[in-house]
Chain A
Amino acid sequence: MTSRGANHNRPLLEVRDLHVSVGSVEILKGLNLTVNLGEVHAVMGPNGSGKSTLTNALAGKPEYAVTEGKVLYRGKNLLEMLPEERAREGLFLAFQYPVELPGIRVREFLRTALDALREHRGLDKGSLREFNKLLQEKAKELGLDEELVKRSVNEGFSGGEKKRHEILQMAVLDPELALLDETDSGLDIDALKVVADAVNKFRKPDKAILLVTHYQRILNYVTPDFVHVLIDGRIVRSGGRDLALELEAKGYEWIRDAVESGREISV
């Protein structure tokens, strides 16, 4: 058991001057972000601005090299932890493009993951029956077919199923900080509501959410505490819920222009 829940008055996540390169190309160029428990942050930005780079770097994907800056998670240096350690410490990433795992069934996969997390948290394994019940319940809430948990992870899943399956994992694994990378993309309106409900259910004073999206649509259901605009590897503006609406009305060009002409960039 680690210091989960300790350091109450520290932010959950502090990103300071983060620079990340893939290969020889710098993608994040000094990004700052503070997330406290209980908060929902939306990150918006044009294609290729570095949103997924941010979530992947936070989760520790090997090819994303941090060249400068620091990231503290509950006051601890996140960057020196292995990806699996970050996960065990409570960081969860719902992938923008979930990968297929042939022959690994959803049920076994989630059970193995949950066992690893529980062990780290000093809990015992819990019975198989309880697990199956939990899984079934959560799958149902997300409108996923019962049979899906018997299939190979993501293999042959529809786009929407993949996204809902990511949220299913979040619901079962019960992390502390959820990074949702465009989980709303490709969902029809009903599925969007279902996912939003699940996210709202997850939203609690002892959790935090970083929600990457292109559309303010999901923010109608999951009201963010903060909205950040990420352009060209930096957060160029932060604001409240209204910023998303403004963005939707005016497009990114408006912000880009504002930034370039040196007008206010502040929270």
Chain B
Amino acid sequence: MVAPKVISRKATTSKDLEKEYKWGFVTPIEPDLAPKGLNEDIVRLISRKKNEPEWLLEWRLKAYRYWTSLKYGEPRWAKVSFPPIDYQDIYYYSSPFKEKRPESLDEVDPELVEAFRKLGIPLEEQKKLTGVAVDAVFDSVSVATTLQKTLEEHGIIFCSVSEAVEKCPELVRKYLGSVVPYTDNFFASLNSAVFSDGTFAYVPPGVRCPVELMTYFRINTEGSGQFERTLIIADKGSYVSYLEGCTAPMRKTHQLHAAVVELIALDDAEIKYSTLQNWYPGDKEGRGGVYNFVTKRGKAAGRNSKVSWTQVETGSAITWKYPSVILQGDNSVGEFYSVALVNNHQQADTGTKMIHLGKNTRSTIIAKGISAGQGSNTYRGLVKIMPSAANARNFTRCDSLLIGDKCAAHTVPYIEVRNPTARMEHEATTSKVSDDQLFYLRQRGITEEQAQYMIINGFCRGVFQELPFEFAMEASQLLKVSLEGAVG
């Protein structure tokens, strides 16, 4: 695609960035809150608030019943530890709108517009980011989606899931849960029951989406969970690049974020999905922070289709996510590029699954883990070559960088090959920033602190270069802020 000039999300000068977590402010908005706790009535209430059709309510209820059958049995196989979560102590619906959804931005509370402006996401048409269409999600609800007109001209649907249910119910019905069924895992079931807003995108056959699509997720209300659901469909021969960014206020308590993302690429279609995850990581002692338990999966359903994930995970107290690709179509391609950073008491268990079904399918995994402070960082990945996948290829590279000596890095690669024609390559390294490297840079006049960032950035380069340019700039800024105190 003609690289559009992407976002300038610098609401603040780089000086402000030196400070702790600059996205930690709270917006003084009286939310429309459903009572705390979860039961069938809450599920019905959410569905009613969103004017959903009967089939969707039924689907939610099925998911809810399935979830209750799991008896609060969260998956515990990941290398992360957290106390039991009280699912009855969470708000499952929190909307900044008391009444119905506003028709235009004029009807939106200025506090909300201001909140997004502070985050570097102007929502007003005249100030909108060039080359990016933004869907802004605040707690459970989408606040505004920009650039709608431009997109409509290309036949692209880009809106909140709630709107999509009204606008194109048949598409939602066909694909919702088709990649991540509600029985997939504990958090996916929970999400299916109570999912609030999220983003929907459909790109019609042969269309290259002319702008980047972006969703900015913001958790605001204390004690509320965020359960967004994203569904992106690239029809035959189409291309779309999608970005998501996320932040939350600083809170002493933990917040639960359990999202589901489903991507479907039909014949010759390509979806590029980039994430900058910067949820509040908690304080230096590990108090507060977001539990980021997310299920993301793409289906490279058609021949020659491609699904590519790029993630930069710097935030959250705990990250548990494995953006995966089912390589179903012949010659389809799956990619996963990841930088995961933990500092202080953060824990990350993240990686991917590449499930090869089609012939001549190819997957690439580049995972970079940075561990600092007392953080724990695990790469967990599965590459599975099914009998049908003749001539499948996978390349996996996992690199860990350790900063300090109280942190930990683990690599857990699972490989399952059921077709002898498969070709697999796996490389893994663990390194530290070496004194010789630091001295080399300092000898050229670069300060020790800057030298450290340069080396860390260099370590991430193979992943950052997969991001749209300005997102890459922001990613390296994020690394810098996130490593505050660990480096220099």
Contacts and interface: CB of A to CB of B under 8 A. Distances in A.
Contacts of B461: 102-104
A60 B439 CA distance: 9
Contacts of B434: 99
A22 interface: no
A84 interface: yes
B444 A173 contact: yes
A112 B454 contact: yes
B444 A169 contact: yes
Contact of A98 (B440, B447, B448, B457): B440
Interface string B431-461: 0001111011111111110100011011111
A103 B462 contact: yes
Contacts of A117: 445
B343 to A, nearest CB: 20
Contact of A104 (B439, B447, B455, B462): B455
Contacts of B446: 84, 112-113, 116
Contacts of A62: 435, 439
- Chain B contact residues: helix, strand, loop or mixed: helix
Contacts of A120: 445
Give chain A's interface residue range (CB within 8 Å of chain B): 20 to 34
A109 B442 contact: no
A99 B445 contact: no
A113 B445 contact: yes
B454 A102 contact: no
B441 A101 contact: yes
A63 B445 contact: no
A99 B460 contact: no
B462 A61 contact: no
A109 B450 CA distance: 11
B445 A84 contact: yes
Contact of B448 (A59, A84, A102, A116): A84
A93 interface: yes
B447 A63 contact: no
A131 interface: no
A113 B431 CA distance: 24
B432 to A, nearest CB: 13
Contacts of B442: 60, 82-84, 87
B459 A116 contact: no
B431 to A, nearest CB: 9
Pick from A86, A101, A173 the residue with the most CB of B within 10 Å.
A101
B414 to A, nearest CB: 27
B450 A112 contact: yes
Nearest to B444: A113
Nearest to B429: A102
Given A63-B435, A99-B434, A101-B437, A87 B443 contact: yes
A55 to B, nearest CB: 10
B443 A93 contact: yes
B211 to A, nearest CB: 27
A96 B440 CA distance: 11
B444 A103 contact: no
Pick from A82, A109, A120 the residue with the most CB of B within 10 Å.
A109
Contacts of A82: 442, 448
Given A62-B435, A82-B442, A109 B454 contact: yes
A100 B434 CA distance: 10
Interface string B331-345: 000000000000000
Interface string A58-70: 0111110000000
12 contacts: A59-B439, A84-B447, A87-B442, A87-B443, A87-B444, A88-B445, A99-B434, A103-B460, A104-B455, A113-B444, A116-B444, A117-B445
Interface of A: 59-63, 82-84, 86-88, 92-93, 95, 98-104, 109-110, 112-113, 116-117, 120, 152-153, 169, 173
Given A101-B440, A173-B444, 10 more contacts: A59-B443, A83-B442, A84-B447, A84-B448, A88-B445, A99-B436, A104-B455, A112-B446, A112-B454, A113-B444
Interface of B: 434-437, 439-448, 450, 454-455, 457-462
Closest 9 interchain pairs by CB?
A103-B458, A103-B461, A113-B444, A87-B445, A104-B458, A116-B445, A83-B442, A84-B442, A99-B436
